Structure 1
Amino acid sequence: MNRGPGTTDDTQVRADCTVASDGRIAFQLTALQAPAPQLLLSVRPKKGPKGSKKANAEENLLVLPIDGDGRAVLEPQPALAEGRWDMYVLPEPGAPRRRIRPGFRDLRALVDGATREWPSPVAVRVPYTTKDGFLAVRTWLRTAHAEVAGIDVTEGSIAVKARLHGADLAPGAVVRLRARGAEGIERTVESQIERDGRFTFALGFEELVAAGGPGSRVWDVSLRLQPGEGTPSIRIGRLLDDLADRKEVFVYPTVTVGGAAVRPYYTVDNDLSIEVTAVE
């Protein structure tokens, strides 16, 4: 379980939450009996090599007041750092903080998030239930973001529709595929520019398998706003709805091409990647 310092889990405190389209989240806590309670959001340390957790030099902690009716509000500003924020209630100053169980989550305002235009920075917040059954908030904070609108996988290729948010899309933008863990190995694919930041691209799997050489490899997919080496890239993925984790939910077919199994997938951060696995 993910426990912070001075934490106790022997609690039945629950929180309903309602998300507004502007990112505002209202929490309504139940079974809370405390003289001066506070709601705490603590960003979870990122995992380092072999699953170890990188310690933060200073815990990133957000404290919200809880009114007499058990209500606390997380305003749209300031934007939260990207990560997973575990939620706690502090009954009173100096008391151990307690984990919160999820109640009713009204996320209807997030469902059609991809239909709206998002300014820079693109700040996304999705309340969700952790694997161990507690309430948390998944956040993304990016200067710009390319949102996947559709993926079509055929026997030998993939076609992707997407829309850019937080930046201007101009002719010359290309899709960049970079081999993870391999310095300098990348490929670019032309994109077809449409209106309102929308674009499409298609990729043949056979070329991707050959480009990576023997063995298995993962290719991360990004949008490069200008052609040429060293220009900034914007990760392509799917963040703008009510789903905090889609890796195990959106599963695309695996295609065998040139002695390798190829499949697109979403990473743990909901970014788009393509896995090429050598077939023995």
Structure 2
Amino acid sequence: MNKKIDVDLILKNMPVSTKIVGEIIYFDEVESTMDTIKRFADSNTKEGTVVVAGLQTKGRGRFGRSWISERDKDVLMSILLKPDYHVLRALNMAVSLSITDTIKKVADVKPTIKWPNDIRVNGFKIAGILIEVDALSSGTNCFVGIGLNVNSNPNNFSKEFEATSLFSERLISFDINRVLSLLLQYLDARYNSIGTSDIVGEWKNNLDTLGKNIEIFSKISDEKYNGKAIDVANNGDLIVKLTNGSIREFSSGEVTLQQ
């Protein structure tokens, strides 16, 4: 069992050539993989460049929250993509599905997606995604950060995180290099399928949010709304029937599922 990240092993475990995923740069420790890749990325940096770390000291998720992990236990990575601007909304779906693909393959458990991109197993968060976009004169640099709890013990985390890991779900340790290899393969395939597959339908079928009573906090209006999640639009917006009977679409926000 390989306990440390090894780029050579990651590449060796990738039996098929990838169209986008390219150079993999490993750091033993960084503040965050997202900040690291953004520091050296410019218009000349090749799409598909990947930064992987053994430990993040200041990892972050959506809304500026901390992302906690243990050294050499989890997937901590960011990748530079340069998609056409009109497919940015589909990118979130592709990345989410690449993570669920990976979890199903390596652990034989059924993950779900809490809108818009929290990956969960049995109601507990196992992976998160952070997407940040820089508009350049030559196009769009899109930085995708992924954190996937693999061998960490969620009991070491604060209760507020409500987290799990592949180890916690199956009570066995996983080869971190194989997990990374599979994730990069699935990410490459999902990214290249945007526009040619029913990615919206697949993403929708994996959502655990639809049909549930929810509270959603909108950063745009700085307000909380209550209602029932009834559908998603083709662009990924969440369609909610509010308690006052009106229908509203949300392009972003933080969802809490109501009991």
Same fold (TM over 0.5): no
Q: RCO (CA 8 Å, sep 6+): is it higher in 1 or 2?
A: 2
Q: TM-score, normalised by structure 2?
A: 0.26
Which structure carries more helix by proportion? 2
TM-score for the superposition, normalised by structure 1? 0.25
